[in-house]
Amino acid sequence: MPALVELIGVSKSFGSLRAIDDVSLTVDEGEALGIVGPNGAGKTTLLNVIAGSLRADHGRVVFAGRDVTTLSGHEHCRVGIARTFQIPRPFAGLTAFENVLVGATYGRGGSDGKGQRASVEALEQARLLGKANTLAGQLTLLERKRLELARALVTEPRILLLDEIGGGLTEFEVVELVETIKELRGRGITIVWIEHIVHALLSVVDRLVALAAGRKLIEGDPQTVMQSPELQDVYLGAEL
């Protein structure tokens, strides 16, 4: 069976800085893939290229057998690619429900009636339905993270890209959020997850890719990757 997502020799530069350097990888349907690496490794840039908010300078992005390299971000969303952001930026003056409805209306392009039903379902899946009528600006950090999930889920994605969704949360909140992510995966959603909270990541993903200086360093079984000398050298230094 062909991969759901395939990156083929993808590179992305910002001036003289090559943030992503000739990266190739695949993500299978139903898989949960983790991405790790030190700050500046190119992880978020890679996610942005998959999501279409950045266009690769070189290489190709293929989704479900279709070359989507040159499609815009909203077109990526329409074909089934959704993402969350490391720092939630909801519309603070709108309720949680209204925030999700914006995603339903403009992200998935549904009619009002269908969008309202889908918004309720997305809030329920993200375990935020009880806060549907609360202004987003009054939500806790964990609730804003759940709102990020709901806004992505309402677009009915085949793949969900998570960018450090556990950042800033307490240990208890991370555990709660991991359970939600496991439930989403159980619904058949493919996941690509960047996360510095390694134990949370390892409790969900099937495979791990490590990046360093924009290049793919190593990939494979999560425990094997985390214990690899290559990754330890990147994080701790070769002498250690």
Task: Give the length of the chain.
Answer: 240
Same domain, 162 and 152: no
Of 117, 134, 156, at which residue does a domain stop? 156
Same domain, 72 and 190: yes
Same domain, 12 and 128: no
Question: What's the CA gap between 81 and 48, in Å, rounded?
Answer: 11
Same domain, 225 and 136: no
CATH of the domain at 206: 3.40.50.300
Same domain, 61 and 162: yes
Same domain, 63 and 178: yes
* 109 pLDDT above the threshold of 70: no
Q: Structurally, how many domains does the chain consist of?
A: 2
Of 156, 186, 206, at which residue does a domain stop? 156
Of 138, 156, 174, at which residue does a domain stop? 156
| Residue 218: half-sphere exposure toward Cβ, Cα within 13 Å | 16
Mean pLDDT taken over the chain: 92
Same domain, 171 and 67: yes
Residue 239: pLDDT band (50, 70, 90) is very low
Residue 42: pLDDT band (50, 70, 90) is very high
* 47 pLDDT above the threshold of 50: yes
Same domain, 101 and 124: yes
* 55 pLDDT above the threshold of 50: yes
pLDDT of residue 1: 58
C-beta separation of 23 from 56 below 8 A = no
Q: Is the pTM of this model over 0.85?
A: yes
pLDDT of residue 238: 46
Same domain, 175 and 239: yes
Per 3-state DSSP, the chain is made up of helix, strand and coil in percentages (nearest 5) of 40, 25, 35
| Residue 100: half-sphere exposure toward Cβ, Cα within 13 Å | 35
Question: What's the CA gap between 221 and 211, in Å, rounded?
Answer: 15
Residue 121: pLDDT band (50, 70, 90) is very high
Same domain, 149 and 166: no
Whether residue 85 lies inside any domain: the answer is no
Residue 240: pLDDT band (50, 70, 90) is very low
Same domain, 163 and 220: yes
- Compute the average pLDDT of residues 129-134: 97
Domain around 238: 1-80+158-240
Whether residue 169 lies inside any domain: the answer is yes
